[in-house]
A and B are shown apart, each in its own frame.
Chain A
Amino acid sequence: MELNTLTLLEAARGLREGTFTSRDIVEACFSESSRSDGEIHAYLDVFQEDARKQADLADERLQAGVPKSMLDGIPLAIKDNILISGKRCTAGSKILEPYVASYDATVIEKLNLSGAIFLGKTNLDEFAMGSSTEHSAFGPTHNPHDVSCVPGGSSGGSAAAVAAHFCLAALGSDTGGSIRQPASFCGIVGLKPTYGRVSRSGLIAMASSLDQIGPMTKTVADASLLFSIIAGHDPRDATTHPHAGFSFQDNASLQDLSDIRVGLPKEYFGQGLDDKVRAILDNRIEALKQKGARIKDVSLPHAPAGLAAYYLVMPSEVSANLARFDGIRYGASIARNESPKDFWEIYFETRRKYFGNEVQRRIMLGTFALSAGYYDAFYLKAQKIRVRITEDFERAFRDVDVILTPTSPVLPFRFGERTEDPLSMYLADIYTVSANLAGIPALSIPAGSVGGLPVGVQLMGKAFSEEVLFGVGHFIEQS
């Protein structure tokens, strides 16, 4: 048994029973990543020494019978836009290449308290802007199922690290699909939680009204466990909900699906959906029916407008959030080795030199959408469509418990296929952005594969219905 291939629950059981040690798992993970991360490039940074030290401490606690939690001694990978105090955090950008975090993100604090171990920081599209990791300033990650294909993005490094068994699970962040789409492309489970259930404190902000941190795991039960550790109200993030917490229950899965109504929105099964992806979905829907689920057609009439609204709301928030990168207080700066004539030269030239093209493009798009004369026609219009999208979901969830769709319209694509035309890259998010606009939870679960390339199915539920998603997701996983 290769210990790096364990699920979180298997590892937790083995550690508790003393079948193996935390140090054993950590060594197995490092041995696998040393062997093949040269080809995959999931990690931007690896913490060999720290992880070994933490593992030995966890082993002492486990031996003494006083583990901190079910996750004590379990090694994870963390997306490199989540701060770990004293560690570099680049967000995949040249502008943060020299940046060292001066505090822990709240999710890191929680994981530390639970005894989890951090193996390293994973690659991502620059500032989480992209669907392939090709926009990382430090080179792309490769899909472990086929290294000529992208792993999806932006949390492609985390997805690849889990799929390649470099770690037992990982954290990602999802603004418009950045957990779910790479989870789908790499054949793993990924949860975008209800907005406000997981603290964003210490997550490098992309679009604050859409961003959520979430688990990327090998099984649905693992996602539920990891989610239970990171969820909860946080005084440092005023957008977290007072009742954000979630408790994990082993064996909480549904006995059968006869009380479950599954909605299929016709807008997600039309033009643009790859026939091979569709066939796999049909298979899974049939399996759910066999288990007693009631399958119903639903309509989300504003769904086709979701992507356009998203590409106004998100860049508008990006343009405000990224204004902080001024070359004065932290990060790369032309002031470090040139002699700029004034403050403005530092600001403009630092952002010319150290931001990648996609980041500049989105800052420009957002600045335009918010600028005088265009605000009403673009930004405000998009926020109104957002209301309509939310209302569509509310209406649909009166008739069904979950909505089932493909996670991605296409199979993992090849490098370079979509980088020339930004719009074609944006279309990769077409089925995932609406959940972020409406703030509802969404789970991607492996559904099968085509020619060795994984296909994911997405379940969306009403706000705070993660439990239901895990319940139905578990059935999809088993069928």
Chain B
Amino acid sequence: MIDDKTVRHIAHLAHVGLNDNDIGKFSKELSAILEYIKELDRYDTTEVDAIAHATGLENQARKDISKDAALANIKKELLEEQAPKTQNDFVVVPRVIE
């Protein structure tokens, strides 16, 4: 159901580098899982509107307060130490646009 070419395509979309020997393994495993999932086709859902969550809550807006207050619990110094590269309080990212 899922061949090696599809696995490479999905890995590209998912931004996951794969080892060559994992490609065959993933195509086999994902095919088996999707085969099981095909079970769903036995159930008619033509009349059903899909939901994305189970709460029924709608339009939950937070209070209109300044960002500093909303983020008061975050320790900035701990946050900055996390990145592989920082400079003057900024995270260094390699150039993404040529």
* A360 on the B face (CB < 8 A): yes
A351 to B14, CA, bound (A): 10
Interface size for A (C-beta < 8 A) is 76
B residues near A361, Cβ cutoff 8 Å = 26, 29-30
A-B contact count (CB 8 A): 174
* A13 on the B face (CB < 8 A): no
A383 to B40, CA, bound (A): 11
A394 to B51, CA, bound (A): 15
Contact A368 B54 (CB under 8 A): no
Q: Which of A423-445 contact B (CB under 8 A)?
A: 423, 426, 437-440
* B66 on the A face (CB < 8 A): no
Contact A328 B91 (CB under 8 A): yes
Contact B50 A384 (CB under 8 A): yes
For A304, A305, A323, A333, which residue has the most chain B Cβ atoms within 10 angstroms? A305
* A9 on the B face (CB < 8 A): no
Partner of A329, one of B34, B40, B55, B83: B83
Partner of B18, one of A101, A304, A308, A360: A360
* B67 on the A face (CB < 8 A): no
Interface size for B (C-beta < 8 A) is 57
Q: Which of A31-52 contact B (CB under 8 A)?
A: none
A31 to B4, CA, bound (A): 52
Do A102 and B75 contact each other (CB < 8 Å), given the known contacts A239-B53, A335-B84?
A: yes
B residues near A381, Cβ cutoff 8 Å = 40-41, 45
A residues near B36, Cβ cutoff 8 Å = 308, 311, 423
Q: Which of A369-402 contact B (CB under 8 A)?
A: 371, 378, 380-388, 390
A331 to B91, CA, bound (A): 13
Contact A368 B10 (CB under 8 A): yes
A residues near B76, Cβ cutoff 8 Å = 102
A19 to B26, CA, bound (A): 58
Contact A109 B73 (CB under 8 A): yes
Do A343 and B33 contact each other (CB < 8 Å), given the known contacts A102-B74, A235-B63, A319-B14?
A: no
Q: Which of A327-352 contact B (CB under 8 A)?
A: 327-331, 333, 335-336, 340, 342-344, 346-349, 351-352
Which residue of the partner chain B has the closest CB to A106?
A: B73
Which residue of the partner chain B has the closest CB to A350?
A: B17
Which residue of the partner chain B has the closest CB to A347?
A: B15
Do A423 and B73 contact each other (CB < 8 Å), given the known contacts A328-B91, A346-B94?
A: no
Contact B14 A364 (CB under 8 A): yes
* B19 on the A face (CB < 8 A): yes
Partner of B40, one of A308, A346, A368, A437: A308
Contact A367 B55 (CB under 8 A): no
A347 to B19, CA, bound (A): 15
Q: Which of B9-27 contact A (CB under 8 A)?
A: 10-11, 13-19, 22, 26
Contact A329 B78 (CB under 8 A): no
Contact A330 B82 (CB under 8 A): yes
| 1/0 contact string of B55-86 vs chain A (CB within 8 Å) | 10100111100000010011110110111110
Do A305 and B39 contact each other (CB < 8 Å), given the known contacts A329-B83, A335-B84?
A: yes
B residues near A421, Cβ cutoff 8 Å = 32
A440 to B76, CA, bound (A): 37
Contact A363 B94 (CB under 8 A): no
B residues near A86, Cβ cutoff 8 Å = 75, 78
* A449 on the B face (CB < 8 A): no
Partner of A387, one of B32, B33, B51, B79: B51
* A113 on the B face (CB < 8 A): no
A343 to B30, CA, bound (A): 28
Contact A328 B93 (CB under 8 A): yes
* A20 on the B face (CB < 8 A): no
Contact B95 A342 (CB under 8 A): yes
Interface residues of A (CB under 8 A from B): 85-86, 98-104, 109, 195-196, 209, 235-236, 238-239, 241, 302, 304-305, 308-309, 311-312, 319, 323, 326-331, 333, 335-336, 340, 342-344, 346-349, 351-353, 355, 357, 360-361, 363-365, 367-368, 371, 378, 380-388, 390, 421-423, 426, 437-440
10 additional A-B residue pairs with CB within 8 Å, beyond A311-B33, A347-B15, A361-B26: A86-B78, A99-B82, A102-B79, A239-B55, A308-B39, A343-B96, A360-B22, A365-B34, A382-B40, A385-B45
Interface residues of B (CB under 8 A from A): 2, 6-7, 10-11, 13-19, 22, 26, 29-30, 32-34, 36-37, 39-43, 45, 48-55, 57, 60-63, 70, 73-76, 78-79, 81-85, 91, 93-96
Could you list 21 A-B pairs, sorted by A, with CB under 8 Å?
A98-B82, A102-B78, A241-B55, A305-B39, A328-B83, A328-B91, A329-B83, A342-B96, A346-B94, A348-B16, A352-B17, A360-B26, A361-B26, A361-B30, A367-B13, A368-B10, A368-B34, A371-B13, A385-B40, A387-B51, A390-B54
